[in-house]
Amino acid sequence: MTLPVHLVPTLAGVGPGTEVTVDGDEAHHAVAVRRLRVGEQVVLTDGRGTSVRGVVASTGKRVFTAVVEEVARHEPPAPEVVVVQAIPKGDRGELAVEVLTEVGVARIVPWAASRSVAVWKGDRAEKSLGRWRSSAREAAKQARRSWFPDVSEMASTADVVALVSEADLAVVLHEDATDPLATVEVPTGRLVVVVGPEGGLTADEVAAFVGAGAVSVRLGSEVLRTSTAGLAAVSALLSRTGRWS
């Protein structure tokens, strides 16, 4: 049986026999929605590489405790994958974050591309970023990840250029590119994938990223939506690494 996973702020210093308290919204969902009961087993994680399996010892309105039985610590997955996701319209951003989290991305960077239809400003920016982070958190629990992805603050094109320049491999998905993604050699280290908006990348954006060291590539003859292109690209890259062997 697949055990439910719950996120806690820290698991520092825990070991078998330690009682861990889970409270707030996380506990409310477990107790009130999932009907968690004393004696059930759960998995708790700090999202930074440590997970524990334990038995529920008590429950309350917005709190439960679990006694730790086993502790597991995991190194960050390698290679590290960063996806720069141009901000799409509607709820397609949350969809992109969800599937990228499920496939194992380490960091997701919302990007205000020149042709992004949606614009994040003021309160909308704060709320939209909050929804992206919530989607990543819930998807990471569903995928049983011990390392949760970071969802960065909104980036400018200059910020993305800096990310590209520091990567061991950076690819820009571009429908007019001549090189297929399948021909790119995948190194160890940090991989950066840049996904453009619904309106496509501008020539200046492509030139800036390529100038910083990125490779402009196409996925195939089909043109994918911005919300699914990142998933396809990351899957293609990871299938050629030890992470999926």
The per-residue pLDDT for 211 is 98
Domains, the chain, ranges and CATH? 5-73 (2.40.240.20), 80-244 (3.40.1280.10)
Q: Say whether pTM exceeds 0.85.
A: yes
Residue 1 has pLDDT above 70, yes or no: no
Average pLDDT over residues 10-30: 95
The per-residue pLDDT for 121 is 92
Residue 218 has pLDDT above 90, yes or no: yes
Q: What percent of the chain has pLDDT over 90?
A: 91
DSSP secondary structure of 172-233:
EE-TT-SEEGGGS---SSEEEEEE--TT---HHHHHHHHHTT-EEEE--SS---HHHHHHHH
What confidence tens digit (pLDDT) does each residue in 195-214 have? 999 989 999 999 999 999 99
Residue 111 has pLDDT above 80, yes or no: yes
Residue 244 has pLDDT above 90, yes or no: no
- Chain mean pLDDT for the chain: 95
The per-residue pLDDT for 58 is 97
Going by pLDDT thresholds of 50, 70 and 90, the confidence category of residue 177 is: very high
What confidence tens digit (pLDDT) does each residue in 59-92 have? 999 999 999 999 999 999 999 999 999 999 989 9
Distance, in Å, from the CA atom of 154 to the CA atom of 145, rounded to the nearest integer, reads 24
The per-residue pLDDT for 90 is 87
Q: Are 195 and 173 in contact (CB under 8 A)?
A: yes
Residue 181 has pLDDT above 90, yes or no: yes
